Chains A and B, each alone.
Chain A
Amino acid sequence: MLAQSTPSPRTRLLAVALAASLSLGAAPAQAASVLAGAPGLALFADAKVTPEQAASARKSVQERAQSLRKAGDHGSAAELLSEEAAKRSDPVLYLDAADAYKAAGTEDRSRPDLETGIEKARVGLDILHFLQDPRCDPEWQAVAASKISAEIGRGEKIIAASEQAIKDMDRKVEAPAPEEDDEKTRKKAPKDGRGLIAVGSLLTVVGVAGLGMIGAGVALSAGAQKDVDDVDLTDMDFEQQIADIDAKGKAANNIAYAGIAVGAVGLATGIALLVVGVKKRKKYRAEHGSDENTARVQVLPTAGRGQAGLVLLGRF
């Protein structure tokens, strides 16, 4: 029944395309390995390779890659170095490619780049170790024997750094963003001068208290003076009375002096801070708009039975 059906050219084309795409999709590893085997063609060239020839051949590649890396294009440099390393089976270029992949992977936070870099470094290390093996063709010496150990060390460092970069990347992905920090940021008071206003208000209140102390001291002192004037000099203990009143007068004077100091410092500093704070708040509001959360200071009149005055209200 299937054989009798005669599909149109269009459906036949679709079928062939489907077959081809499915068959390609089924064997990606094989396709990749054929490409990986490309350096094997160099085998049949059987050309003699000396460390000097290899160094001279790789120099221009390294210079081109260096200029790409200086321009910040680590990815293109890595591809160039990798391609040339495969063409020449050059372990130094493999390590250079690995280093460029590491830089690209770290910069772009790309795990595939870092993994590719590790594999390139491993290929470079394989070749470097083989160069020390008795089975190695004496006419194939891409690196001078004296430099092999240093290059192996370089390759191992690149692998370690790339693996560490992958670990760091995984750790950052695993660890969720700390919510506490967000809350702290959210709760952090805006820099709208509220602190200055708060401290300024407090110091102003202290300064006003100092004025009160001056008033109290002056009043007590005046009272003491009056008491001295009223002392009856005929009394037997008038000297004692005068001494007591004198002590009271001195205490009153001290209160007044302390009030002067407290009032002067409190008012001067408090008012200065208030002025700066209010200016800062105005500036903040101009930049960020008015907000109910910004500081506010209010002075309200108050009156009650036998009392009257002003109330300083502040929200900071």
Chain B
Amino acid sequence: MSLRTTIVPALALAVLLGAPAPAHAACNDPSGLCLEEVKGAKWEPDAVMSAKQLKAKRKGAPGRLTVKVDDGRGSVFLDGRYVGTATLSDLEVGPGKHDLQVRDGEKILAEGVLTVPKGASVRVNVRHP
């Protein structure tokens, strides 16, 4: 019973488990944000939500949001509040429209309204100029 016979599958398993998520292509969208194609997900740059829309109750399974910033840093603000600094992974968010802004100090990297479908994982890539 050679050790090799167990090490080889272990390495294969490690590669499978440890394989990083497919890298996002560099974002070239003029709005500064690129949305990975997910059915029902939508990005409306510069759009604003009303206070009523922001306070509306969200029904359905929560979605997950991942925000990455290309070649730089940025803090993420969702629905008017700070939620963390990129890279943010799998942040649980209610389904529906969300006001999103990513900024680095005074510089706004991207802002608008993001629609997260029920139970979906949405990934966005933000360009850092």
| Inter-chain contacts of B92 with A (CB < 8 A) | 40, 44
Provide the B65-103 mask, 1 if CB < 8 A to any CB of A, else 0: 000000001111111111111111111101000010101
Q: Mark B93-116, 1 if CB is under 8 A from A, else 0.
A: 010000101011110100100000
Say yes or no for A137: interface residue by CB 8 A criterion: yes
Taking a contact as CB atoms under 8 Å apart, the answer to whether B75 and A43 are in contact is no
**Minimum C-beta distance from A133 to chain B (A):** 7
Are B8 and A43 interface neighbours, CB within 8 A?
no
Please tell me if the beta carbons of A23 and B88 are within 8 angstroms of each other in the complex.
no
CA distance in complex: A29, B15 (Å): 17
In A230-274, the 8 Å CB interface with B consists of none
Whether A14 sits at the interface, judged by CB under 8 Å, is yes
A7 touches B1 (CB 8 A): yes
User: When each residue 47-62 of chain B gets 1 if its CB lies under 8 Å from chain A and 0 otherwise, what string results?
Assistant: 0100000100000000
Residues of A in contact, count (CB < 8 Å): 48
- Say yes or no for B25: interface residue by CB 8 A criterion: no
Range for the number of chain B residues in contact with chain A: 35 or more
Q: Which residue of A lies closest to B84 (CB)?
A: A37
Q: Please give, as numbers and ranges, the residues of chain B lying within 8 Å of A137 by CB-CB distance.
A: 54, 79-81
Which of B16-24, B28-36, B37-45, B119-127 lines the interface with chain A?
Answer: B16-24
CA distance A129 to B104 in the complex (A): 9
* A125 at the B interface (CB under 8 A): yes
CA distance A105 to B90 in the complex (A): 32
Bound: A236/B28 CA distance, A: 128
A-B Cβ contacts below 8 A, count: 142
Instruction: State the CA gap A8–B17 with chains docked (Å).
Output: 23
Bound together, the chains give a CA A8 to CA B6 distance in angstroms of 9
Does any Cβ of B come within 8 Å of A22's Cβ? yes
Known: A26-B19, A135-B111. A19 touches B84 (CB 8 A): no
**Interface flag for B10 (CB, 8 Å):** yes
Contact of A122 among B19, B73, B87 (CB under 8 A): B73
Jot down 26 A-B pairs with beta carbons below 8 A, ordered by A: A5-B6, A11-B6, A16-B10, A22-B14, A23-B13, A23-B14, A25-B18, A26-B19, A27-B18, A30-B21, A33-B89, A34-B90, A37-B84, A39-B83, A40-B88, A43-B78, A122-B105, A126-B74, A126-B82, A126-B103, A126-B104, A127-B75, A135-B77, A135-B80, A135-B111, A138-B80
Chain B interface residues toward A at CB < 8 A: 1-3, 5-11, 13-15, 17-21, 48, 54, 73-92, 94, 99, 101, 103-106, 108, 111
